[in-house]
Chain A
């Protein structure tokens, strides 16, 4: 092989390698999966209003105990199936973990009708213009966020959560914050 042929061959090989690398990066992940950029970062602060009493709820006042935030809407079909799962987890683990629902892009009237009678273990919050939801990087509903006792965003589930996943996520939250140690056994 001539020196020139070798040079051309090497250039083509290098170009093909770069092309394959770019394609592998592009096709190696789900293009519809929105990255969760806030993982491991402090949860953005918020002050929201309770749907039942209208009382303000601030994130800064919830620190010291892990927190589960569940975003939902009355117009969201999968939220209807998911709601009892979160409500039951709130009743079962409410002593160690705080559970709050956040209404996303909905009217208060529809949200009240959806949520039913107020549940002290799973209060609902209204989010005007979904400002707080966008602050958290919500891409749609339902979505559930897991925040540790120090106010760090640990994880999120961007689909209707099932009881097993809820247990797993609470167990993972236990590892990052002592107060949850008794939650999942």
Chain B
């Protein structure tokens, strides 16, 4: 039983055949960028470029081969989705049902913003309006103090 469990754990990381030789720097950069977009089938949320598993290495070799034969990024992504479905893409395209995943957070953000705005306005409207400053001044009795009168005159100017 222990040997069986150990076999299951180590199977993906056991020494096997080596990966293919990297291409020239420009094309290899494309290989790595594409590898970052494709999901490793044996891992938890890792790309095939970031995984050392046998399946990821096999897929990276295939990406390298497809890049070497002149396939475009779109064609290479299509190659993998035709075999593994959209599951293969770490970032699903914003189409069909996936669109909801992109749109719902936006709807929540806008809706939440509007709700907050409404909530902030409501108490201000409900509270008793402060009396206008001019009325306050009008109600205030005139002072006999020449200094205060001079200040008020200055403020009114």
Contacts and interface: CB of A to CB of B under 8 A. Distances in A.
Interface of A: 15, 18-19, 22, 25, 34-35, 37-38, 73, 75-78, 80-81, 104-107, 129-131, 133-141
Contacts of A130: 54, 58, 61-62
Interface string B90-103: 00000001001100
Interface residues of B, number: 36
Contacts of B55: 105, 138-140
B84 A104 contact: no
A128 to B, nearest CB: 9
15 contacts: A19-B104, A25-B97, A37-B81, A38-B82, A38-B83, A73-B16, A75-B11, A76-B14, A78-B4, A105-B58, A131-B65, A134-B58, A134-B61, A139-B41, A140-B12
Contacts of B72: none
Interface of B: 3-4, 6-8, 10-12, 14-17, 20, 41-42, 53-55, 57-59, 61-62, 65, 81-85, 87-88, 97, 100-101, 104, 107
Nearest to B19: A129
